Structure formats: C-alpha cells, structure tokens
Amino acid sequence: MTTIEINKIGKKVENKYLFQDLSFTASSGEMIAITGDSGCGKTTLLNCIGQLENLSAGSISINGEIIHKKNRKIFFKHTVGFLFQNFGLIDNETVSKNLEIATNNKDSIVTWLKYFNIEPLLNLPIYKISGGEQQRVALIRTILKDPILILADEPTASLDETNRDLVINELRKLSKKGKIVIVVTHDKNILSQFDKIIKLNNGKITM
C-alpha cells in the first residue's frame, strides 16, 4: 500500500497565492479527479504533486517520507508517470522510438498499440499523427513505465467518445491494480469513474 500525503501546500505566482493550505491523501487503488474553472490552478497543483514545480508552502510525502530536493529525482524517476496536456512526446521521433523510452520490450509495445487500435502508426513520426493518437501513445508510454503514481492532465481532451471511454477505462484498471491515479479534467462525462472528486475554487478545495 502506497499513500501520498499532500499537507497544507501552497503555491505563489507573482507574489500571490494561486492556492494555499491544501491537504488531502491518495492511496493505492484510488482514482481521483481534480476539477475547477480554467485558470484556478489545477495543472499547477498536479505539477507540484509530481515535483515539476516547487511548493511555496507545505509538504508532500510518500509513505511518511517527505519529498525534498535530495530525493526528488528518485521520486520522479521511479514513482511518477505523467500524462501531459501537450503529450510530452518527441515530435520528430517515431511512435516506436517514443515508446522505447519506457521499455525495450517491443512485443509489449506492439501489444498495447493493438489494444488502442493504433498499431499501423508504429513507424510514423509523432508530428504526422493526430492529437487523439498522440494522447493514446502518451498513455501507452505511461503504462509501459509502470509507475506507482499516475498524474494525468486532461487525458480525454483530444479524444472522441469511444477513445475517451477506452482511456478512462484503462486508467480505472490501473487504479484497480494498485496504482494511484490523479486526473485533472473538465469532462463531466467521466466523473462517475472516480473514487474522489476534488474541486479547486478560489485557492481552496472541496471534496
């Protein structure tokens, strides 16, 4: 069992708190949504949890160990899998090369590409495939990395209904396998899939 504890965290932007005094926990097997209006700080909160941005106040710990500068790189490398809103893929590399960053097992790569109905894209460069296809490639890369904590920023934003359901169902399966899944989303159609819904409003959260 893994538990991430967010303890009274705050983030300043231009000397003004975007959010402050936020606390909640996330444990293995949980799938959590972070919602709120555009510009309220959802992506910044996700980035702070994943250690891509520094906190202005508070702390984040995993199984009681506070994450700090000395152990941050280890935490990020071995614990976190990110699904970025801009996908975080290498545009001029092929789908295959992007996925080989996570694994050298080419059979696994092909298996997941088939599962998400994008196997024919294997040798195409990223810039030649659609946004929805890039989102699925990014999800496959995260799955292949096999992280403890999955942080996803609007993972269904570029997808049609069929592929939206495919992605959310796969994230749900990952949580049931013991992963912690935290998702920033505007999509009200998927909220029923989550164990917790955290709403960020005026720098505070409600659950």
Q: What is the 3-state secondary structure (H, E, C) of 26-82?
A: EECCCEEEEECCCCCCHHHHHHHHCCCCCCCEEEEEECCEECCCCCHHHHHHHHEEE
Classify domain 3-206 by CATH architecture. 3-Layer(aba) Sandwich (3.40)
Burial letters 77-105, b for 16+ CB under 10 A, else e: eebbbbbbbebebeeeebbbebbbebbee
Domains of the chain, by residue range, sit at: 3-206
The candidate with the shortest Cα–Cα distance to 155, out of 57, 66, 87, is 87
Longest dimension (CA), the chain: 50
Residues 112-157: tens digit of each pLDDT:
999 999 999 999 999 999 988 998 999 999 999 999 999 999 998 8
For the whole model, what pTM was predicted?
A: 0.91
Position 21: which residue type?
D
Average pLDDT over the chain, rounded to an integer = 91
Reported confidence tier of residue 24, pLDDT bands at 50, 70, 90: very high
